[in-house]
Structures are given as structure tokens and as C-alpha cells.
């Protein structure tokens, strides 16, 4: 088969690396672990396990991170769990019918290697709202995906995860019971969550910032997502490097990073490096 190789579960990603989303983690674990690891619980009570979970929210809020952590934790909790990750638009192909074929192969492989998680990142790119105006191929991909989801054995150990920034752009049929029947809306982090995320991305420094500094920074970073906070921490370390190794920088400042991308200029974690 010419399907892309199985995505290895990255065991280094754990729930400890995720800040400010603890209220989602337990609920998500239930939805993913129970059907994967304890399917008999559902069968013996004559209920159908949840089939798919949609993670919705602005970019950089940890949706991909949480999917990876779930796969890694599921593997640690019990038997080996196969993890397949696909980016929505990457599945599309210029060859008519090729995307549908790849999807079929993917579902077959996931069932063969169950328990499995199939994660569609940016699923809006793969399964946009169907319309007569839209290209026929796109509509056909959505129909194929729906048929494949419906075709999964209700007792099979395959869980689907999807992530999107634009939940309204996804075909509504995908959000019906038996398909992506659960949704989680990830918000931008609040102040406390921002402090937690700053802590996660700076706690392994030689001289991590004090709690006061993290709280002060968190309070001033209104509107930052997790990815922005990570970038801020990276920038802070680069600045500390810059102070310590000025010889790296040429006089015309060729190597200086564009700090606009970080947006907060006034803070330096100069203590980052000894």
C-alpha cells in the first residue's frame, strides 16, 4: 500500500506540557480512552461510544498539542495505540479520486491496527460546507469521509479527532451524532492560564523567571494565545543570548530577530541564561 506511514506516537508530549486547559483534559480523556481501551464497557451497557471529537478554537490554543498528548497518554495507559495525523488540505490531491482513495486506505489501516486515533488537523480544509457552487471533487471528498465514518464498526476501537479554527466552515453533516458528535471550544487563555503557559515554556531554563514576573507578564499579554506565549519565551532567551554573546551579532545587526512578531518589547528575561 502507498499510504503515508503511520505517525509514531510522540511519547514526549504529555498533559504536563499543556497550560490552562485542565478542565478539558479529563473530559477528553474519557471520550478517547474509554472507547479505545475499555470498549466492553459500552457493549455491556448497550450504548454506542462517542465516535469523534471536534476541537474548535482560535489558532495556537493547543488543539494539536492536546491531540498529541492524548495519543501519547493512551499509549502509556494501556496497549499500543496507533496515531494517524493528517492535515486537511494535504489530503487533497490534484488527481481526481486520489484523495478519496487515500482516505479509504487510511480508515482501513486504522481499523487493522486498532486501537487507533485518526486526527484531522485543519479539517475545514478537507471537509468544507458542500455547495453546488463548489467543485464537485470537494463535495465527493466530504461524502466519502461521511461514508467512511458511518462504516466504522460501532464496536471498533477507532476514535476520530478533528481540529479547526472555523467550525462554521465545516460541512454540517460531519457534526451529526455518530460522526463528530462532541465539540470542545478552546478559548484564548485567561490571565491565570497565560501564567501557566509561560511557566511551562520557561521552567526548564537555568534561571526560570520568578512567579511575580510571570504573573506580571501574563497580566500584560491579553489576547495572546499559547503559541504567542511560547514565542515570547523563545524571544526572551534569544535576547539573553544576545547579551551574553554579542560577538555573534554583526555591527549591522544582521542576526537580530524581528521582535514585532512577539509584540511585547519591554520585557527581557535576561536572567534566562547564566
Stretches 44-52, 61-69, 128-136, 264-272: which one binds ligand ATP (CB under 6 A)? 61-69
- 165 touches ligand ATP (CB under 6 A): yes
One of 9, 19, 72, 123 touching ligand ATP (CB under 6 A): 19
- 163 touches ligand ATP (CB under 6 A): yes
Q: Which of 17/181 has CB closer to ligand ATP?
A: 17
Burial of 149 (C-beta count, 10 Å sphere; 0-12/13-18/19+)? buried
**Pairwise CA distance, residues 32 & 69, whole Å:** 11
Residues 112-151 that bind ligand ATP (CB under 6 A): none
**Helix residue ranges, H only, 38-161:** 39-44, 63-77, 88-91, 98-112, 136-151
One of 9, 20, 81, 123 touching ligand ATP (CB under 6 A): 20
- 78 touches ligand ATP (CB under 6 A): no
Contact status, residue 62 vs residue 18, Cβ threshold 8 Å: yes
Q: Which of 37/188 has CB closer to ligand ATP?
A: 188
Q: Is the peptide bond before 115 cis (omega within 30 degrees of 0)?
A: yes
The angle that helices 22-37 and 63-77 make with each other, rounded to 10 degrees, is 50
**Pairwise CA distance, residues 142 & 140, whole Å:** 5
CB of 87 to ligand ATP, least distance (A): 9
One of 36, 64, 103, 118 touching ligand ATP (CB under 6 A): 64
The residues of the shown chain that bind ligand ATP, judged by CB under 6 A, are 17-21, 59-65, 163, 165, 197, 200, 226-227, 230
Amino acid at each position: 500500500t502507498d499510504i503515508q506511514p503511520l505517525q509514531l506516537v510522540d511519547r514526549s508530549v504529555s498533559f504536563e506540557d499543556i497550560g490552562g486547559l485542565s478542565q478539558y483534559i479529563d473530559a477528553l480523556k474519557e471520550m478517547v480512552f474509554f472507547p479505545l481501551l475499555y470498549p466492553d464497557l459500552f457493549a455491556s451497557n448497550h450504548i454506542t461510544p462517542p465516535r469523534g471529537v471536534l476541537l474548535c478554537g482560535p489558532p495556537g490554543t493547543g488543539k494539536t498539542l492536546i491531540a498529541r498528548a492524548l495519543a501519547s497518554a493512551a499509549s502509556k495507559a494501556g496497549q499500543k495505540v496507533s496515531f494517524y495525523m493528517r492535515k486537511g488540505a494535504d489530503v487533497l490531491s490534484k488527481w481526481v479520486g486520489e484523495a478519496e482513495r487515500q482516505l479509504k486506505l487510511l480508515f482501513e489501516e486504522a481499523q487493522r491496527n486498532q486501537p487507533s486515533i485518526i486526527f484531522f488537523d485543519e479539517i475545514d480544509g478537507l471537509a468544507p460546507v458542500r455547495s453546488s457552487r463548489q467543485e464537485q471533487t470537494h463535495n465527493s471528498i466530504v461524502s466519502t469521509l461521511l461514508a467512511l465514518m458511518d462504516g466504522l464498526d460501532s464496536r471498533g476501537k477507532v476514535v476520530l479527532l478533528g481540529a479547526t479554527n472555523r467550525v462554521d466552515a465545516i460541512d454540517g453533516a460531519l457534526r451529526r451524532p455518530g460522526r463528530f458528535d462532541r465539540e470542545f471550544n478552546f478559548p484564548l487563555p485567561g490571565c491565570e492560564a497565560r501564567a501557566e503557559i509561560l511557566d511551562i515554556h520557561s521552567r526548564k531554563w537555568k534561571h526560570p523567571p520568578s512567579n511575580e514576573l510571570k504573573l506580571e507578564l501574563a497580566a500584560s499579554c491579553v489576547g495572546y494565545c499559547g503559541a504567542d506565549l511560547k514565542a515570547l519565551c523563545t524571544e526572551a532567551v534569544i535576547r539573553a543570548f544576545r547579551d551574553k554573546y554579542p560577538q555573534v551579532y554583526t555591527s549591522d545587526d544582521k542576526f537580530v530577530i524581528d521582535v514585532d512578531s512577539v509584540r511585547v518589547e519591554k520585557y527581557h528575561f535576561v536572567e534566562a541564561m547564566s
